[in-house]
Structure 1
């Protein structure tokens, strides 16, 4: 496992062509004052979700790295509820991948955050 330090935080719910659906298993370490999930935890969910969608398509490339991320926090997640991210790759090129991540709070129909992420894919050797 490449990132064992976060493996307990996430559950892979589905991986498909150009898509991934992950759950953030929300715990005390993800909360900020007021009981809501912190922005860095939401970012991590979006980032890992798009990363896994990429790896599902290109194979294990530990050095595929995030080069850009823009995230919109649209509403407060439900306190104490897990977050679900639906990631979709919009472009998977030879050296760059671009993905979109919608983050939902369990029990809410509308997304709590939306991220647009770009990754650099290492050259094949």
Structure 2
């Protein structure tokens, strides 16, 4: 577990780059990431993809509202193993008034694509607590 709140902290995600046009995170596969048959659970990638896209989308939207995930489509392309460090990058496909679509690539330490996906976000007309946004935009 890390200092980061929520599921990212439980999964050991480290935020490397956070900006309105790209977010990059990293985590290392451990035993806690495995499904019952000893291989990494695909839900790790789905969860990391959604939270990474959500951070990117919220930083882009700023204080104009709050983003929520409405769809997550993740394909698992190659199996990782315990000890592999996975880097996930979110980049925008579309950012509009009411919704956003983000592309995500998760690669291993050798740059091989492990999982790829898209996350759709809805931009809700709600106030976001300033401290929540500041946690990701502070330098």
Same fold (TM over 0.5): yes
More helix by share: 2
For residues 70-89 of structure 1, what are the structure 2 equivalents within 5 Å?
70-89=73-92
Tell me, yes or no, if the aligned pair for 2:31 and 2:82 is still in contact at 8 Å.
Answer: no
Contact 1:36–1:80 (Cα < 8 Å) also in 2: no
Structure 1 segments, 4+ long, off by >6 Å, are: none
Q: Does 1:119 align with 2:108?
A: no
Change (3 A) 1:62 1:25: farther
| Separation of aligned partners in 2, 1:67 and 1:7 | 22
Report the TM-score when normalising by structure 2: 0.76
Find the residue that maps to 1:59 and give its secondary structure: helix
TM-score norm. by structure 1 comes to: 0.83
> Where does residue 44 of structure 2 map in the other structure?
41
Shift of residue 7, structure 1, vs aligned partner: 2.4
Unpaired stretches in structure 2, ≥5 consecutive residues: 128-139
* Aligned pairs, number: 124
Q: Structure 1: any 5+ residue segments left out of the alignment?
A: none
Whole-angstrom CA distance in 2 between matches of 1:66 and 1:45: 12
| Match of residue 95 from structure 1 | 98
Partner in structure 1 of residue 111 of structure 2: 109
**How far, CA to CA, are the matches of 1:36 and 1:61 in structure 2?**
41
Q: CA deviation at 1:95?
A: 1.0
Shift, 1:124, TM fit: 5.0
Is the counterpart of residue 26 in structure 1 residue 29 in structure 2? yes
Distance in 1 of aligned mates of 2:16 and 2:66: 24
Q: 2:56 and 2:46 mapped to 1: Cα distance?
A: 16
